């Protein structure tokens, strides 16, 4: 099951062009790259991206990220995936503009 990263459009464009990133501003501040599982994704959107549009959703294979990916307690004690290395473009399984449905939830389907 993939894990997910949300980027604002400008953050995604910079990452895509450079081929790697140390993450978004919150990632740089915390010293690791934040990810969410499918079950955590809506909470992450609600807490950190409320009212924002022009977001990108990236899917990654947690097993392929190796030992630099750690599962650590965060919001409400739930274990969240955190990456302690640079994220590389070839780590990304797929990326697409994030689509919010009418009820505010997220369409998590992989692109065609």
Output the CATH code of domain 3-101.
3.20.170.20
Q: Between these two residues, 102 and 61, which has the higher pLDDT value?
A: 61
- What is the DSSP track for 43-86? HHHHHHSTT--SEEEEEE-GGGGGGGEEEEE-GGG-EEEEE-SP
Question: Across all residues in the chain, what is the average pLDDT?
Answer: 91
**Degrees, nearest 5: CA angle 61-67-72:** 85
105: pLDDT strictly greater than 90: no
The answer to whether 98 and 59 are in contact (CB under 8 A) is no
The helix (H) or strand (E) run that includes residue 97 is strand 92-97
pLDDT at position 12 is 97
List the chain domain ranges: 3-101
Sequence-ordered list of residues with C-beta below 8 angstroms from that of 96, at least 6 positions apart, any chain: 56, 57, 111
Output the pTM of the full model: 0.89
Q: What is the pLDDT of residues 64-88, one digit of tens each?
A: 999 999 999 988 889 999 999 999 9
């Amino acid at each position: 099951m993939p894990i997910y990263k949300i980027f604002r459009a400008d953050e995604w464009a910079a990452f895509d062009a450079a081929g790697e990133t140390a993450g978004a501003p919150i990632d740089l501040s915390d010293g690791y790259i934040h990810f969410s599982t499918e079950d955590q994704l809506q909470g992450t959107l609600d807490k950190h991206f409320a009212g924002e549009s022009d977001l990108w959703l990236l899917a990654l294979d947690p097993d392929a990220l190796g030992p630099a990916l750690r599962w650590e307690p965060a919001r409400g004690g739930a274990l969240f995936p955190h990456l302690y290395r640079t994220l590389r473009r070839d780590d990304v399984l797929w990326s697409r503009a994030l689509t919010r449905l009418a009820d505010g939830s997220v369409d998590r389907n992989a692109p065609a």
